[in-house]
Each structure stands twice: as structure tokens, then as C-alpha cells.
Amino acid sequence: MATHAALIRLLDAGGADVMVLDGEAQPGGMGICRQAKDELYDCPPVLLVIGRPDDGWLATWSRADAVVSHPIDPAALASALAGLMRARAAEQQATPQPHT
């Protein structure tokens, strides 16, 4: 997404299965994560990329579901993202769907 406002519109429309946010971006991905977790009933899981491992406590504050830090290990990033996607898919399958 290009802007904070565009991301919020996408989330409000239910258009995301998982989010990958940059904790170092402005406005910060940590704040966006916290806002989404506070305001969305069915917030998608969030993978937060942080600048250094010591910033993990900030990721906890943001309520991110998974965290990777710089320098990014591609295998760790892919594994964390795949885990979130599998968990989201399982959660959606377990939730009864309304009949139309």
C-alpha cells in the first residue's frame, strides 16, 4: 500500500489476509499494527519487520503476531509469513459462514 489511509481503507473493506508492516516506516508500522488490532474486529495477522532484535518489546506493544528483524533472513521471513497464512486459513475454515 502506498499510504496509511489506503491501508486502512483496504482493511475496512476486508481486503487483506495478512499484513507485513515495516516497523521503521513513517507513519510507523508499529502504530498502524496497534491501531488495526484495536479497531478491527477480524484484524488479519501482522508480521512486523523491526530494525533490531532489541526492539522486540515494541513489537509486543504493537500486538504483532510475528516479528522478524534486520538483517532479514529470507527463510525466517518466509517461514513466519507462511505460518501466519496457514493459521489465518485454518481460522477462517473453522468459522461458520453465513448462508446466502
Please give the residue that has the higher pLDDT: either 71 or 15.
Answer: 71
Residue 69 · residue 51 · CB < 8 Å = yes
Per-residue pLDDT for 17 more than 80? yes
For the structural domain made of 4-93, what CATH number should be given? 3.40.50.2300
**Could you state, in order of their start, the residue ranges of all structural domains in the chain?**
4-93
Helices (H), the chain: 4-12, 29-39, 56-62, 74-94
Write b or e for each residue in 52-91: b if 16 or more Cβ atoms lie within 10 A of its Cβ, otherwise e: eeebeebbeebebbbbbbeeeeeeeeeebbeebeeebeee
Structure-model confidence comparison of residues 99 and 64, the more confident one = 64
Percent of the chain with pLDDT over 70: 93
Q: Judge contact between 50 and 56, C-beta under 8 A.
A: yes
